[in-house]
Chains A and B, each alone.
Chain A
């Protein structure tokens, strides 16, 4: 853990836990990155419920897209170990194919027929 910390402090990068991509911790627009731009997976290092660092440290899977009132997209992540949910803003260089796939997935698997909404 200490070697990982010193290495990431030196180069300011982190390896993605899922796809292994070496990701620069700071995005092009200067914001701090917390998920891989290629596969959008994240790491559970911050505790959202209690606040502060989390001792879980497991992989977090992107499960859905939320849209703020401002129109900005957020990625909802879910921890594979403790099932905690977090939301994070997307980056400009995030994989748009995966973002779009998550956005259309509810409409691809509707729990009710969508034909009736055509009349509205």
Chain B
């Protein structure tokens, strides 16, 4: 998370290689949200973990991406979008059954409309900070 950890280098979490995928035979998984058959090979990322259509994920990883150590298996809904210092978008997923959070980079074939709807959600409701924007 380059710029967010200001002044710290090499603070990235190690990503385990995904040579063995436990419980996932073949090269596709079915989305728990929209039942789309999703190929695991995605343009732009080696760690596809969410459906490119509805952005729903499954809670299978514990702390390290790809470790498959979570016993939860709950459905994870896309909660918000974060931006890395290098401009990469991350989807923050929120587990519906255990309340956990995780972040994953977007893939090249992710649904742009679904991403944009999450990104503009803070700006679309007429909450208090809008008057701050007008004052700038």
Contact = CB atoms under 8 A, between A and B. Distances in A.
B101 A63 contact: no
Contacts of B101: 48, 76, 85-87
B82 interface: yes
B60 to A, nearest CB: 14
B119 A78 contact: no
A80 B8 contact: yes
B87 A111 contact: yes
Contacts of B35: none
Contacts of A64: 80-83, 90, 92
Contact of A85 (B62, B92, B106): B92
B112 A67 contact: no
10 contacts: A48-B99, A61-B5, A63-B1, A66-B80, A78-B4, A80-B4, A86-B101, A100-B129, A117-B112, A117-B113
B124 to A, nearest CB: 8
A65 interface: yes
Contact of A67 (B8, B11, B103, B121): B121
Given A65-B80, A85-B103, A80 B11 contact: yes
Interface of B: 1, 4-6, 8, 11-13, 62-63, 79-83, 87-90, 92, 94, 99-103, 106, 112-113, 116, 119-123, 125, 127-129, 132-133
B4 A103 contact: no
A97 interface: yes
A106 B119 contact: yes
Nearest to A61: B4
Contacts of B99: 48
Nearest to B63: A49
A2 interface: no
A104 interface: yes
A61 B4 CA distance: 6
A96 interface: yes
Nearest to A18: B6
Contact of B92 (A76, A81, A105, A120): A76
A99 interface: yes
Given A61-B4, A73-B122, A78 B103 contact: yes
Given A71-B125, A107-B120, A111-B106, A97 B87 contact: no
Contacts of A10: none
Contact of A106 (B4, B83, B112): B83
